[in-house]
Amino acid sequence: MLSRPKFAPTAATALLLTLLTLAPTAQSQSTDPTALVRRAIQNREAAAKTHRPLRYQLRKISDHRDTTKDIIETDQGDVARLIAIDNHSMTAEADQAELGRLNTLAKHPEIQEHRHQREQNDADRINRLMRLLPDAFLYRDQGTSPCPSGKGPCHHLTFAPNPAFEPPDVEANIFRGLAGDLWIDQAQERLARLDAHVIANVDFGWGILGKLDKGGSIQLEQSDLGNHDWELTTLKLNLKGKALLLKSLDVQLTEEASHFSQVPPGVDYRKAIQLLEKSTPMYSSGPVLRSPEFSSACKAVDRSRNPVP
């Protein structure tokens, strides 16, 4: 599992989110960047094993819709409740329809299982692509610079396609057309931001065949929520191309995650539905990254998992 909110599993999003974990371990002296990326993959896997389920709000803005959802992660997959449309709270009628949908989901676990399986398939694809990253790109260390967020110093790296890389399948072709910059927090050795650009027309596959046109861009931002828990908080996609080689593809998407809080231990998907149903939708368009109780909740979970003798 990636240590991040699970944004919409579109082809472009899922593939590009693999870049989130390119952040190499910071070193005080010059080190082979490719070796750093290899170690970063191991660090990612270790962090995924200790990831704790979160509750958060996810706002998604596209050309056609602007929605905000209250999401709870569980071992059986995420559960979400729509709480705002076009930056406004739900009407009573729309909210009642949403509660009806959640009630149906609770009665039909096969729906949740199908969704969870789809999430797992995407995660497996990402893990497979991750193993290719050290060979897919050439990395250059650009020294130390202020983090884009302004919080402390960051290591600045650039990446570009490795001309010697031979993609093993059509899904890996996307790496041939991406290049850009990334910043890694120096103190915690975590990715703070990634800016990538589509530098060439490239074929790709993620369950479907498609082509990305040169000129697109991707921006990812990750933040420390407290207690060294880093999560993806911003995703911006500006991509054009073709899907199935015929249908035009035009992705203008911004996703922002906020209002993070810890999920109590033992919450399965049905309990998550109950939590969503019982809570009064509290939509806020403000830039709140985490709830005030987040750090204390993390400490409480630590105590529950490691009780004092």
Q: How far is CA 289 from CA 125, 194, 222, 230, 261, in A?
A: 29, 19, 11, 11, 10
Q: Which domain holds residue 227?
A: 11-305
In the numeric block, which tokens belong to residue 295?
């750090």
Q: Crossing angle, helix 109-130 and helix 92-107, to 10 degrees?
A: 90
Closest CA to 79 of 104, 96, 45: 104
Averaged pLDDT for residues 34-56: 80
3-class DSSP state of 92:
helix
- Which CB contacts under 8 angstroms, 24+ apart, belong to 41-47? 41/130, 41/131, 41/133, 41/134, 43/189, 44/2, 44/3, 44/130, 47/3
64 located within any domain: yes
DSSP annotation of 133: H
Q: What is the count of structural domains for the chain?
A: 1
40 located within any domain: yes
102 located within any domain: yes
pLDDT in tens, 244-295: 766 888 999 999 999 999 999 999 999 999 999 998 766 555 545 555 444 4
3 located within any domain: no
166 located within any domain: yes
197 located within any domain: yes
Looking at every residue in the chain, the average pLDDT score rounds to: 80
Residue with tokens 């992705």: 251
pLDDT in tens, 171-201: 888 889 999 988 878 777 778 888 999 999 9
pTM of the model: 0.80
2 located within any domain: no
* Cα separation, 213 vs 203, whole angstroms: 9
Q: Is-contact 204 212, C-beta < 8 A?
A: yes
60 located within any domain: yes
**Higher pLDDT residue, 213 or 14?**
213
